[in-house]
Structure 1
Amino acid sequence: MPKTNSAPPLALTAESPVLAPRYREPASVPAPRRTRPPASGGRQRPGPRTGSRGTLASYRRLFATPGTRAFTAGNLVARVPMGMFSVSAVIMIAAEYDSYALAGAVTATGLAATALVAPFTARLVDRYGQARIAVPATALAVLGSLALLLCVHLHAPAWTLFAAYAATATTPNTGGMSRARWAHLHRDDPAALHTANAFEQAVDELCFMIGPVLAAFLCAALFPEAGTLTGAVLLLTGVLLFAAQRATEPPPAPRGGGAGSPLRTPGMPALMVVFLATGAVFGSMEVVTLAYVDGPAAGPLLALQAAGSCAAGLVYGSVTVPGGDVRRRLLGCLAAMTALMALPLLSAAGTGSLLALGGALLIAGMATAPTMVTGMTLVQRLTPPGQLNEGMTLAVTALLGGIAAGSATGGWTAEHAGAAAGYTVPVAAAALALVLAAAAGGTTKARLP
């Protein structure tokens, strides 16, 4: 699940933070022997895959494609810092300036800058290629992180912190670039692509479980700047390793697919509003849980929610999903999310037990990955060919906007109506996302292939 006040899970991971492509290029990448059945009419209909053996077999087949393990390893290294940067910045700034308000304002500025810059960076990636754009964009973002570290260490004026952290907005959507590679490799195999999308969403959840814990440990065990420094090194190293895998890189679309922004595509604006409401679920749930627990147990409880989403994503990727209307599948996922998000509310208002709340969060998290996988599948089907990174980055930006709004609303509700009552906000946000998705159905369905 995307995290509050963090750089995008360039991802979430929007990412997870997830695709069923509409690519029309010739199928130039042959399927490796025994990894995919031969194409039949351009669509595959694999048999059911259930149980732990079926789950493992699905992912073994996925990574049997040459080059996939190498680019996945590099991308994983690059994505772990996405869960580190905001936590590291808050700890580092608060320790030096003795102001959590300043630390929060700086990270919020970075979030706003990313929302503006990330779609433009993604458009360049689509137009000129991943390696050509991602490496210099990452280098600039790393310089911003190092500048922030230096400013804090020297106790520079507060305005320099805002300027330095805003420079990190050029960080490319690493999760989106990885999903684009899967889409290119499996553009004629929806079953393999579904597995890849679910895997990517599970990776998003994993990174946002590990990242904050690693950042907090480094800052406490070494020195306050250690989290930011380590994150910058991991980001640059991971992107360099990822960009070096040229054999699996999608070909650039020199004119951006021959179209303007993907937001001009019928159905996309309405779907972005759905993502905005979905992001509010994530942001409010995190803040309300922190307010309700108000102690060190809050971290493990939130990790349980991410763990539930990660496990559900892996299972969801190993089963055969129903064909046909993806929009209806999204409605089903949002309905399940609305119902499951009520469990933490019932637990907090009822027993008040942290053990019961942990179980409720674990179960509630299981709706996250399937919803994100299905939603991003719809994003890709609506996105014109050659603009895939931009389309997914717009979805991540909408999620981040929703996270910010949900965090503010959840925090206000918890403060004025009580922390237990604050759990009504994620339920209401999920219900709103469901209503918006149902209302947007006509336009979206008309645009789908």
Structure 2
Amino acid sequence: MRDFVALMRIPGLALVIATQLAARFPAGMYSLGLLMHVERTHGSYTAAGLVLAAFSIGMAVAAPVVTRQLSRVGTTRLLLATLLISTLSFGLLAAVPLPLPGVMALAALGGAAMPPVIPTVRTLYPLLAPQNTLTALFALDASLQELIWVFGPVLITLLVAGFGTSTALLVVVGIQIAGGLLFALARRVRSLRIPTATRKIGRVLQNQSVVLMMVTSMLMIGSFAAIEAAMVATFGEGSVDAGLVLAISSIGSLLGGLLAGNRQLTRWSLTLRILIVAAGFAIATTTSGFVGLAVALFVAGLGIAPALAAVSSVISRAVAFSDTAEAFSWIGTGQLIGTSLGSALAGIAIDAAGGHGGVLVAVAICALAALVAAVFRKAQPDMRLVIGDDD
């Protein structure tokens, strides 16, 4: 805990953390909101899964290209331009009745234009904090982002229950505008200057550590998307219980990240942390009641933030500063591909076997993530060395 207190004393860091959380808050609401909105308007979880897939694929395809422009267009200009396009797209999706292809197109455009908040802030962190505190900083970041998943799912389910899915999504658009402006106009963000990358886009994928983190992230987030859809199907659209169970999982993740803190990472750390998540999901296959699922997802949550923190630490350690933003965007691309695949596979399984089918999909994907992390663990840098020692 002393590590976290020391971090908060760094000038400007607390404000950066707070504003980036505000800008990312809609992430805890859009996927679940879109899922419920499309299921209500088009009548199937398969349709909802297709829209979520389009949303995720839009982000995945555009993210590396958009992020590369941070060094060319300027951080604040790019954040504001993408914020405008994204919110207009989601506003139209929420307000205008459209056939499924039209909804998918707007979801894809809105996703493609999502402001690159995560690559921006994770590129900024090493400039604000000493290198020996970065593991703790990434653990804190991964933990605090769980506040998004604690309050986001509960808020969107309450909004849907009280006002319907269209109004709920419009509220999310308003939150995105407010949070996006706070982050883009923060002084430290406005002053960020990222050196122009000299290599062609995608060359960072020649780094084995980046590829491994991208694949494991894809599988991890795919399992999260599957469990989210499974909880909605288990408790019913608009049920507060679904949001509460997901929030309890996020509380577990928040606690896990704080406990992980500045612990020394090894090449086995990521595998062990993913296995905790897989174990929690496996427990969820044995129960369908609120209490049982809440306990199972709390256990799974204990490994989520620590695993994501490990991914961020590896990327920060493995690539040059000028490539950091692009590397994090590829991690995001992998995660979004995972979201689309996890949502689509879970949607099919749910239509065939109910919520239990979605849980089984989550277990299988998460177990595969742990296997990949274990088999290819030597692709990671030695995190015990300081930067430069293993060049």
Q: TM-score, normalised by structure 2?
A: 0.84
Are 1:341 and 2:278 counterparts? yes
Equivalent pairs: percent with the same residue? Answer: 25
SS of 2:26's equivalent in the other structure is helix
Match in the other structure for 2:125: 182
- Equivalent positions of 1:402-413 (< 5 A) are 402-410=338-346
1:381 to 317, 320, 333: 317
Match in the other structure for 2:168: 227
Tell me how far 1:432 sits from its aligned partner. Answer: 2.5
What runs of 5+ residues in structure 2 fail to find an aligned partner? 383-387
Are 1:391 and 2:332 counterparts? no
Q: 2:245 corresponds to which letter in structure 1?
A: L
Are 1:132 and 2:77 counterparts? yes
1:108 to 53, 65, 68: 53
Are 1:194 and 2:130 counterparts? no
Asked if 1 retains the 8 angstrom alpha-carbon contact of 2:194 and 2:322, the reply is yes
SS of 2:321's equivalent in the other structure is coil
Match in the other structure for 1:209: 150
CA distance in 2, matches of 1:116, 1:220: 33
- Equivalent positions of 1:40-439 (< 5 A) are 55=1, 57-93=2-38, 95=40, 102-150=47-95, 152=96, 155-168=97-110, 169-186=112-129, 188-191=130-133, 193-222=134-163, 224-247=165-188, 251-256=192-197, 258=199, 260-261=201-202, 262-291=204-233, 296=239, 297-317=241-261, 320-322=262-264, 326-328=265-267, 331-339=268-276, 341-346=278-283, 348-349=285-286, 354-410=290-346, 423-439=359-375
Assess, with a 3 A threshold, how the Cα gap between structure 1 residues 194 and 254 changes in structure 2: closer, same or farther.
closer
Q: Which moved more, 1:290-299 or 1:200-209?
A: 290-299
Tell me how far 1:395 sits from its aligned partner. Answer: 0.8
Match in the other structure for 1:31: none
Assess, with a 3 A threshold, how the Cα gap between structure 1 residues 290 and 233 changes in structure 2: closer, same or farther.
closer
Q: TM-score, normalised by structure 1?
A: 0.74
Assess, with a 3 A threshold, how the Cα gap between structure 1 residues 271 and 105 changes in structure 2: closer, same or farther.
closer
Q: 2:3 corresponds to which letter in structure 1?
A: S
Q: Which moved more, 1:222-231 or 1:107-116?
A: 222-231
SS of 1:84's equivalent in the other structure is helix
Match in the other structure for 1:27: none
Tell me how far 1:121 sits from its aligned partner. Answer: 1.1
CA distance in 1, matches of 2:276, 2:9: 38
SS of 1:398's equivalent in the other structure is helix
Tell me how far 1:246 sits from its aligned partner. Answer: 2.9
Tell me how far 1:97 sits from its aligned partner. Answer: 5.6
CA distance in 2, matches of 1:233, 1:359: 33
Q: Which moved more, 1:390-399 or 1:203-212?
A: 203-212
Assess, with a 3 A threshold, how the Cα gap between structure 1 residues 104 and 407 changes in structure 2: closer, same or farther.
closer
What runs of 5+ residues in structure 1 fail to find an aligned partner? 1-54
Q: 1:283 corresponds to which letter in structure 2?
A: A
SS of 2:271's equivalent in the other structure is helix
Tell me how far 1:275 sits from its aligned partner. Answer: 2.0
- Note the aligned Cα RMSD (angstroms): 3.1
Asked if 2 retains the 8 angstrom alpha-carbon contact of 1:126 and 1:388, the reply is no
Tell me how far 1:334 sits from its aligned partner. Answer: 2.0
SS of 2:309's equivalent in the other structure is helix
CA distance in 2, matches of 1:131, 1:416: 46
CA distance in 1, matches of 2:292, 2:25: 30
Asked if 1 retains the 8 angstrom alpha-carbon contact of 2:317 and 2:381, the reply is no
Assess, with a 3 A threshold, how the Cα gap between structure 1 residues 420 and 229 changes in structure 2: closer, same or farther.
closer
CA distance in 1, matches of 2:46, 2:344: 14
Match in the other structure for 1:14: none
* Bigger Cα Rg: 1
Q: 1:189 corresponds to which letter in structure 2?
A: Q
Asked if 1 retains the 8 angstrom alpha-carbon contact of 2:124 and 2:192, the reply is no
SS of 2:25's equivalent in the other structure is helix
Tell me how far 1:144 sits from its aligned partner. Answer: 1.3
Tell me how far 1:71 sits from its aligned partner. Answer: 2.8
Asked if 1 retains the 8 angstrom alpha-carbon contact of 2:70 and 2:194, the reply is no
Tell me how far 1:414 sits from its aligned partner. Answer: 6.3
Q: 1:172 corresponds to which letter in structure 2?
A: P
Asked if 2 retains the 8 angstrom alpha-carbon contact of 1:123 and 1:387, the reply is no
Q: Which moved more, 1:280-289 or 1:126-135?
A: 280-289
Asked if 2 retains the 8 angstrom alpha-carbon contact of 1:257 and 1:385, the reply is no
